[in-house]
Structure 1
Amino acid sequence: MSGADKEVTLLELPEPPPPGPGQLLVAVEAAGVGPWDQLLSDASWDVGLRPPAALGVEGAGTVLAVGAGVTGFATGDRVLAHEAPLPGGSGFWAERVLITAHHAAACPAGLDAVHAAALPVNGLTAVQALEKLDLSQGQRLLITNGGGATGALAIQLAAAKGIEVTATASAATAERLLGLGAIEVVDYHDPNWPAKASGGFDAALIIATGTADAALGLVRDGGRLCSLTSDAPAEERGITSWDLYVEPNAAQLLQLAERTAAGTLRLAPQPLPLSEGPAAYTQAVTGQARGKKIVLTPA
């Protein structure tokens, strides 16, 4: 499935090459879809795609072949991964993908492929953002777009550490987010939403485009702001402000997978057949997924 010319279409692609040193060849059982895939399709995010190629930088599947020097994985093992750059020049929206072994995490026995594939990019983004924000129990965090896949995971991870989370989201998702651990949900449809939030936050996590400046005004002096939308505002009042871009991390991914398998981290995947990839892509990049994480499956 190619998107190199901004048009995502179904294609017959050649098989990936055999795995080289440090690589795994994986039979894809499920692949995640997200708004970042638009960056791949228009080459804004260079992950090594060599068109014609499949999109997709996350997924889960079974190891078909192991390259030289790889330890810890064998043929038949189930794995999940976020991979960028893609060593085979093609992504997870395909039947097979070539990945770097040290970016892969073992998939726990209790975790199905759809939930595993829904986890890597959103989960790693949430973990890495919270690590950078470095909040402790009792501190207060504002998350914009708490109803999305990354926001929902960030709420759960923060709440588990005793961080008090206020999230912006639609009124329709408020009950779900409160159930995930948020202590307050502010309706972002209200143009005066910043005044409805209590302010004085120790940190803000920006997941909704265009909310960084308003959120900055709600962060206390000396606080922190982390933007996932590449629009971190200039630092002021001693507030540290930066943009964050997700990186592959197998150790973090394994912890996320184990928590999901144990039921302490909840996901809301929406599986679709790979044949519906173009429609899934459109839903993801136009914000029509409605908080659901779209996952493509080969069958």
Structure 2
Amino acid sequence: MIGLGVRAANGALEILDLPDPRQPDAGELVLEVVAAGIGPWDALLHTGGWDVGLVPPAALGVEAVGRVSATGPDETEFRTGDLVLVHEAPLPGGSGTWAERVLVRSAHVARLPENLAPEIAAALPVAGLTAQQALDELQVDATTRLLVVGASGPTASLAVQLAHLRGADIVAGAGPARADQLRALGASEVIDTHADGWAQKSDRRFDAVLIAAKGTAEDAIGLLTDGGRLTSITSDAPDPIRGITTSNLYVQPNGRALAELAALAASGDLRLDVQTTPIKDGAAIADQVAGGRSGGVKYVLEF
């Protein structure tokens, strides 16, 4: 089968001819991949930054929409032919979702809503679950004053929307060019976090801060009230001060939570700016995304 991946650890991305996944065991499915999301995290899979059990030569990718082509023994929830979406890590077959077929765990799979386009659904799993789990970590609810720094990226823009659905008062940190878009997604105010001294210039104080832009946490923690909460999805949470709780968030697969996110996307309550690319152009796009040059767009491989 065709896949986009690496021949060895730290190898260059290329189109590969890979073996088919093994037959699924109990609690596993094989998917015929329809579309697969590309994120900056994918560059970590073969470089030691994120150990997902990749066994090169292998495809990269940890999220996808696919059609169930084989089920493990005694599978009761999913049947052959079902269209589903998934975030999978570690990878039970040692190879990822940027391939024509992939082995996944059924507990990490959600059924694709009929009115949700596969390319939109394939963009959702990692970003959506990360945003949801970060908001849970921050205990965001209708009483929360929340600052989201780096809010224009796919994951953080979903966090803005999910926090808005919870009733939080959200301030988005982003460049001025994204201000109108972020207000439309639910932010009550936009701070230009690209400006020098942005944190020192703000008189706002927050209960919780979500960091989605590397290098901003040390400034942002100064805007938290005593006893507030800071969570980073860029692995650079600062040490706690003034009773503030700080943490780094690493996404966990969750099929039930993914089904909830897919339902919100299908109803129009969650939106992402998605662009598709054929697998032959995937290496160049993946390099662009890994280099932080996605421009707020979520890219998806189509098969």
- Bucket of the pairwise TM-score, normalised by the shorter protein: over 0.9
User: SS of the residue aligned with 1:156?
Assistant: helix
Whole-angstrom CA distance in 1 between matches of 2:293 and 2:46: 18
Could you tell me how far apart the structure 2 residues matched to 1:163 and 1:36 are? 28
Please give the per-residue CA displacement for 1:73-98, whole angstroms capped at 9, x wherever unaligned.
Answer: 00000100100011111001011100
Question: In 2, distance between residues paired with 1:198 and 1:2?
Answer: 47
Return the letter of the residue paired with 1:178.
R
Structure 2: gaps of 5 or more residues = none
Q: Is the CA contact 2:46–2:54 (under 8 Å) kept in the aligned structure 1?
A: no
TM-score scaled to structure 1, two decimals? 0.97
TM-aligned CA deviation for residue 5 of structure 1: 2.0
* Alpha-carbon separation, structure 2, partners of 1:108 and 1:56: 22
* Partner residue, 2:30: 25
**Per-residue CA distance 1:12-66 (angstroms, 9 max, x = gap):** 1111111122110000000000010111131221101110000000010100011
**Map of 1:115 onto structure 2:** 120
1:227 is aligned to 232
Q: What is the alpha-carbon distance in structure 1 between the residues aligned to residue 175 and residue 46 of structure 2?
A: 29
- Indicate yes or no: 2:204 matched with 1:204: no
Whether 2:122 is the aligned partner of 1:99: answer no
Indicate the residue corresponding to 1:188 in structure 2: 193
How far did residue 257 of structure 1 move?
A: 0.1
Q: For residue 218 of structure 2, what is the aligned residue in structure 1?
A: 213
Q: Deviations over 1:222-241 (max 9, x none)?
A: 10000111111111101011
1:135-146 alignment runs, 5 A limit: 135-146=140-151
With 265-274 and 147-156 compared, the bigger mean Cα shift is at: 265-274
Q: Which amino acid aligns with 1:147?
A: S
Calculate the TM-score normalised by the size of structure 2.
0.96
In the aligned structure 2, how far is the partner of 1:97 from the partner of 1:157? 30
Aligned: 1:178 with 2:178 = no
Counterpart AA for 1:141: L
Q: CA deviation at 1:112?
A: 1.3
Secondary structure in structure 2 of the residue aligned to 1:10? strand
Q: Is the 8 A contact 1:139 1:202 kept in 2?
A: yes
| Cα contact 1:186–1:196 (8 A) shared by 2 | no
Distance 1:221 1:199 in 2: 13
1:48 maps to which residue? 53
Q: Which amino acid counterpart does residue 88 of structure 1 have in structure 2? A: G
Q: Relative to structure 1, is the Cα distance of residues 6 and 171 closer, same or farther in structure 2, using a 3 angstrom cutoff?
A: farther
What is the alpha-carbon distance in structure 2 between the residues aligned to residue 55 and residue 131 of structure 1? 28
CA deviation map 1:227-275 (0-9, x unaligned): 1111111111010111110000111100000010111111111111111
- Change in CA separation of 1:7 and 1:58 when aligned onto 2, cut-off 3 Å: same
Equivalents in 1 of 2:119, 2:141: separation in Å? 32
Q: Percent identity?
A: 51
Q: How does 1:116-135 map to 2 (within 5 A)?
A: 116-135=121-140
The number of residues matched between the two structures is 298
Shift of 1:277: 1.3
Query: Residue 136 of structure 1: CA displacement?
Result: 2.2
Structure 1 unaligned segments of length 5 or more: list them. none
Q: Matches of residues 66-105 of structure 1 in structure 2 within 5 Å?
A: 66-105=71-110
Shift of 1:196: 3.8
Root-mean-square deviation (Å): 1.0
Deviation of 1:2 after TM superposition, in Å, equals 2.0
Match of 1:2 in 2: 5
Indicate the SS of the match to 2:16.
coil
Check conservation: 1:269, 1:295, Cα contact below 8 A.
yes
- Distance (Å, rounded) in 1 between the aligned partners of 2:117 and 2:140: 32
